[in-house]
Structure 1
Amino acid sequence: MTSIPQPPIHTIADFLADPVAAADFPHATLRFRNDRAAASVGLAGLSDAEWVEKFGRFEPLADNLPQPLALRYHGHQFRSYNPDIGDGRGFTFAQLRDVRGRWLDLGTKGSGTTPYSRFGDGRLTLKGGMREILATEMLEALGVNTSKSFSLIETGEALHRGDEPSPTRASVLVRLSHGHIRIGSFQRLNTLDRAEEMERLTRYVVEHLYGETPGDEPALQLLEHVVQRTARLAASYMAAGFVHGVLNSDNINVTGESFDYGPWRFTPFWDPEFTAAYFDHQGLYAFGRQAQAIHWDVVQLAIALTKLASIDALAPILDTFPQVYEDAYSGAMLARLGVQPRSDADDLALVQAIEQALATRTVGIDRFFFDWSGGTRRPGPYDTRYAHHFGPVETLLTRYQPARTTDHPYWSDAEPCSMHIEEVEAIWSAIDTSDDWSLLHNKVAAIRRMGEAHQWPK
């Protein structure tokens, strides 16, 4: 790993962020450390005591940012524009290159108040931190481009929350992410009419997050990348059966990496109306509307970028989103199934047949992809259900070749590895009532085993 005295975010920190300090927590008890992610940025060799100092007390990393930075941004929240947001309980405190040469951020959730906390306490519940670990591990295992839950440390505070039993335990989470620049970061600069800063931020993202030399029209470069990445993200959510829950424009990273998990859920059945957030009364971010929601957010980025480029130049790029999504969706569904793509027409027909069969809700999403891995149905307890509803799927699959082997022991298990709300609650209950972390650590191990079996490209 190569380090430099000042990571690149310092070049735009003067208008993008405010220096802040971490809270002084009563205790710092290490609950989870992601050594796999740490190895990718050269930090796996830290002892537990050193880990707590860095990620619980936030002692600066050598040759890195001298002080944490709370990022400034605006955003549409459930389609209502809010200029009064920003990092209210988190900050970016280091940037490191990973083994692929990318610049990654170490950012926090629950690290204390900032100028953008408003009436919040800047804290994170321990349950919320545990839930983010489960979300990121499961998504990574299912091939979704996601931030990594890097560290979870219990902080010894009692928090009061109106939507869950209180008082409850507190934590600070560290995530490893490919940038924390949001669509809302650009919306803020547009609203404040800061074209020069918009230009600097655009060039920063193109150069440091996408690894390209900014050209004469960096806004067009940026929008093309964001359209491609976010459309693929939306497609991967569908193939994973995942509902993010809060796809506001301040929650969409311009690198197309999924992050910031609040009321997420995995839907057990193929239900386009399934929602994750109890407060999403209109189903704006329902399972089947996620591509539409993300596309709407990207439109807001394009509007902001009119500070730098004409709408006539931006619009054709924006208009490619639906087709990019459709292509990526077919690819994501076939990748999870473990078969090689054929023609666009064949792939579309197969994906539509899978959707129609799963919509009968005779079997769950995870069960289907498990039983048909590699394109051939294995005998099992759901034979009758498959015979009644999955005939077209089976017929179409006779044309396909497997894209992975099924000799990993996972494919011989009786049940697929899933992550539904009942299990999330059971894992939390063991922690809450007995301080038993074994269910969490066992689940993470099971999820990673499933990820190995899927043989995703590195």
Structure 2
Amino acid sequence: MLFTPQHAIDELGDEFADTVTPAAFPEAILRFRNGRAAAQIGLDGLSDAEWIRHFGRFEPLPGAQPRPLALRYHGHQFRVYNPDIGDGRGFLFAQMLDDRGRLMDLGTKGSGQTPYSRFGDGRLTLKGGVREILAAEMLEALGVETSRTFSLIETGEALHRGDEPSPTRSAVMVRLNHGHIRIGTFQRLAYFKDEANLKRLTAYVLRHYYGEEAGEDAPQRLLTLVAGRTARLAGQFMAAGFVHGVLNSDNINVSGESFDYGPWRFAPTWDPGFTAAYFDHAGLYAFGRQPEAIFWDVMQLASSLRLIAEEAPLIEAMETFEPAYTREVTGAVLWRMGLKPQTEKRDRTLVQAAERALTASKAPLDLFYFEMFGGQLPESYGEPFAELRGLLARYAPRKPRDHGYWSDPAPCSMLIEEVEAIWVPIAERDDWSMLGAKVAAVRRMGEALA
């Protein structure tokens, strides 16, 4: 795969972003490079020194855009509209094609201040970067459409944060995304009643993220597609047992790909009320409310598109979300169970039975999926699983349990206790071996599931 730089973002013009200057960091120590992701965009041949120049010092990649761009957007944050946000500690560094021919972005986190930093320092803690690696790797292995942590470089600054011991170490991260256009990008244009740029952005997203040219029904078509992709994401979150934590409209990518992992958690059990963010006191983004939260965000896209479309077709497009979510969560849970799908009705009955059993029993979620992969539910799963056990008899495995992973004594998990344990040797002894071993274990699990 050759590196194939693109400049699609230039189609949008100057109204969508500001050129910025990366921070000049005192150090640049390479801590993580994602060779697998790099191979998919033709950058796996870079030496470590070249890698640091591009992703720690932000020397432009050959043929890519010459200056980083901080993207402009608004958004609802915990249902409160905020017009004073944008890329406050990150920027779009480069665009390129991947090995599937898709337009991809390399974007940063912790790369310095921008016009949207407000009172922030534009930095990222090293622990925050480590947590992003773990979240993205686990989600990718579990079949979730996710950004991937591409690079993590320690930067030698001492940062002060209120939610962890300070001063703490700093880092700059690069993620590989299928685009950085958010629902909040549309909201900003609607806020300013900018019809021309709203139409331009609609056409851009349809062309580059859905492979379609804009017709007369472009707003309705876009909304239908985004509803489908975000319904898929909601279903994948539920099957993975993942709680994003901050599903604000500025954190929802219109490509339907999850990204930006802050206070995330994986749920130990199927607990609809389980939350990730300590500041989510009302449980707005709790595990079981994530489909509702994502639907609410898509409604804000519909509201924004109302500036350039009639209401009736947008309502029609929004009505596709719920049935799409039902299909997607059913398919995602069935996939993680290791079962071949049958009829839509039969599959939904099975998944609902699994949800009831898991809720009633409070069985460990990862262990359940691990032990019953392929449809063989152990006898140790008692009365709450009786209905599910009967339904499973009809199903065939989608693949054999012939990977070595299935002989392990326990499943690969990513609960908060282990995340914290992985950080301890890094903080205390600069020992990165646990992180490396965990990434390898997660990828091995992904191979078994794929």
Superposition TM-score tier, normalisation by shorter sequence: over 0.9
Mapping of residues 140-179 of structure 1, within 5 Å:
140-179=140-179
Q: Deviations over 1:146-169 (max 9, x none)?
A: 001000000000000011110000
- Aligned equivalent of 2:422: 427
Mapping of residues 336-415 of structure 1, within 5 Å:
336-378=336-378, 383-384=379-380, 386-415=381-410
- Measure, in 1, the Cα distance between the counterparts of 2:219 and 2:186: 11
- Measure, in 1, the Cα distance between the counterparts of 2:262 and 2:391: 38
Deviates more, 1:157-166 or 1:337-346: 337-346
- Aligned equivalent of 1:324: 324
Shift of 1:330: 0.7
- Kept in 1, the 8 Å contact 2:74–2:84? The answer is yes
- Corresponding position: 1:231 with 2:226: no
Shift of 1:208: 1.3
- Kept in 2, the 8 Å contact 1:269–1:361? The answer is no
Mapping of residues 73-84 of structure 1, within 5 Å:
73-84=73-84
Q: What SS does structure 2 have at the residue aligned with 1:114?
A: coil
- Measure, in 1, the Cα distance between the counterparts of 2:414 and 2:146: 16
Shift of 1:362: 4.3
Q: Deviations over 1:325-358 (max 9, x none)?
A: 0111111110100101112221121111111111
- Kept in 1, the 8 Å contact 2:2–2:42? The answer is no
- Aligned equivalent of 1:68: 68
- Kept in 2, the 8 Å contact 1:74–1:85? The answer is yes
- Measure, in 1, the Cα distance between the counterparts of 2:317 and 2:340: 29
- Kept in 1, the 8 Å contact 2:110–2:173? The answer is yes
Shift of 1:5: 7.1
CA shift in 2, pair 1:264/1:234, >3 Å: same
Shift of 1:38: 0.3
Q: What SS does structure 2 have at the residue aligned with 1:176?
A: strand
- Aligned equivalent of 2:297: 297
Q: 1:408 corresponds to which letter in structure 2?
A: H
Q: CA RMSD in A?
A: 1.1
Structure 2: gaps of 5 or more residues: none
- Kept in 1, the 8 Å contact 2:2–2:41? The answer is no
- Corresponding position: 1:450 with 2:449: no
- Corresponding position: 1:436 with 2:425: no
Mapping of residues 263-282 of structure 1, within 5 Å:
263-282=263-282
Q: 1:415 corresponds to which letter in structure 2?
A: A
Q: Deviations over 1:87-138 (max 9, x none)?
A: 0000001001000100000000000000000000000000000000000000
- Measure, in 2, the Cα distance between the counterparts of 1:201 and 1:314: 17
- Aligned equivalent of 1:119: 119
Q: Deviations over 1:347-387 (max 9, x none)?
A: 12111111111112442110010000011135xxxx43x02
- Aligned equivalent of 1:315: 315
- Kept in 1, the 8 Å contact 2:270–2:362? The answer is no
Q: Deviations over 1:384-425 (max 9, x none)?
A: 3x0232121111000011111110000111100000000000
- Measure, in 1, the Cα distance between the counterparts of 2:235 and 2:157: 39
Q: TM-score, normalised by structure 2?
A: 0.98
Shift of 1:6: 5.4
Q: Deviations over 1:416-458 (max 9, x none)?
A: 0000000000001110011110000100000000000002xxx
Q: What SS does structure 2 have at the residue aligned with 1:360?
A: helix
- Aligned equivalent of 1:99: 99
Runs of 4+ in 1 over 3 A off after TM superposition: 1-6
- Aligned equivalent of 2:18: 18
- Measure, in 2, the Cα distance between the counterparts of 1:6 and 1:392: 53
- Measure, in 2, the Cα distance between the counterparts of 1:157 and 1:2: 35
- Kept in 2, the 8 Å contact 1:2–1:97? The answer is no
- Measure, in 2, the Cα distance between the counterparts of 1:362 and 1:280: 23
